[in-house]
């Protein structure tokens, strides 16, 4: 199974989270971890699973590099690819648009044929008024708030990495080098 992480970052937080996910899942399992700045959408083709990292900016908008990709995504077919989202936002500063960009990009990939439903994350522990990333009682991906709850990030990452390994059916096939840290206890 070919798995890649692609993300954009303005101030570095999403890069830190992407690097942590990469190290927890292991480089043997996740062969790519790329900042999409100065990259092309073609580089995302051919993966079975895309782990997509995105922060929300400008009150509900996509960060610049994702916005550039978004405008061209309609030309691409992601049938056969599973998308798994992780999003960063600020639930205190932007409670009405919390993680909007994650929901916007997730839906766009589904429109282009990708399959979702992996890595959904409970909304219960967060305080916000509105979010385009919400599906029922869950966000469409991992919700990270480095602005207000950095102390919760590592445990959220451990739990989520173990969750997606289970959901992707990978726990039984990875060797000890690929095991997500703390997967057994999460």
Ligand X SMILES: Cc1cc2nc3c(=O)[nH]c(=O)nc-3n(C[C@H](O)[C@H](O)[C@H](O)COP(=O)(O)O)c2cc1C
125 binds ligand X (CB under 6 A): no
Q: Least distance (Å) from ligand X to the CB of residue 32?
A: 18
Q: Pick the binder of ligand X from 22, 30, 50, 90 (CB under 6 A).
A: 90
Q: Pick the binder of ligand X from 86, 146, 153, 158 (CB under 6 A).
A: 146
Q: Pick the binder of ligand X from 5, 88, 134, 162 (CB under 6 A).
A: 88
Could you tell me which residues come within 8 angstroms of residue 11 by beta carbon, excluding any fewer than 6 positions away?
Answer: none
Q: Pick the binder of ligand X from 3, 5, 6, 14 (CB under 6 A).
A: 14
Q: What angle do CA 144, 157, 88 make, to 5 degrees?
A: 20
Tokens 């994702």 correspond to what residue?
Answer: 66
User: How many residues lie near ligand X (CB under 6 A)?
Assistant: 23
Q: Where are the alpha helices (DSSP H) in the chain?
A: 13-25, 64-72, 100-111, 153-167
The CB-nearest residue to ligand X is: 89
Within residues 33-62, the interface with ligand X by CB under 6 A covers 55-60
Provide the edge-to-edge strand list for the sheet that holds 134-135: 121-122, 138-139, 134-135
Residues near ligand X (CB under 6 A) are 9-14, 55-60, 63, 88-90, 94, 97-100, 146-147
């Amino acid at each position: 199974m070919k798995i890649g992480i692609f993300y954009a970052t303005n101030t570095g937080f999403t890069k830190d989270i992407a690097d942590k996910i990469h190290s927890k899942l292991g480089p043997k399992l996740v062969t790519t971890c790329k900042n999409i700045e100065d990259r092309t959408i073609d580089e995302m083709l051919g993966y079975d699973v895309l782990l997509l990292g995105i922060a929300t900016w400008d009150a509900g908008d996509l960060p610049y590099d994702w916005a550039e990709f978004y405008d061209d995504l309609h030309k691409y077919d992601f049938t056969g690819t599973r998308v798994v989202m992780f999003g960063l936002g600020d639930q205190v500063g932007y409670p009405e648009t919390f993680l909007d960009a994650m929901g916007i990009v997730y839906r766009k990939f589904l429109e282009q044929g990708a399959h979702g439903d992996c890595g959904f994350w409970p909304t219960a522990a967060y305080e916000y008024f509105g979010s385009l990333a919400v599906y029922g009682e869950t966000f469409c991906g991992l919700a990270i708030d480095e602005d207000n709850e950095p102390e919760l990030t590592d445990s959220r990452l451990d739990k989520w990495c173990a969750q997606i390994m289970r959901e992707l059916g990978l726990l039984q096939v990875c060797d000890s080098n690929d095991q997500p840290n703390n997967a057994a206890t999460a």
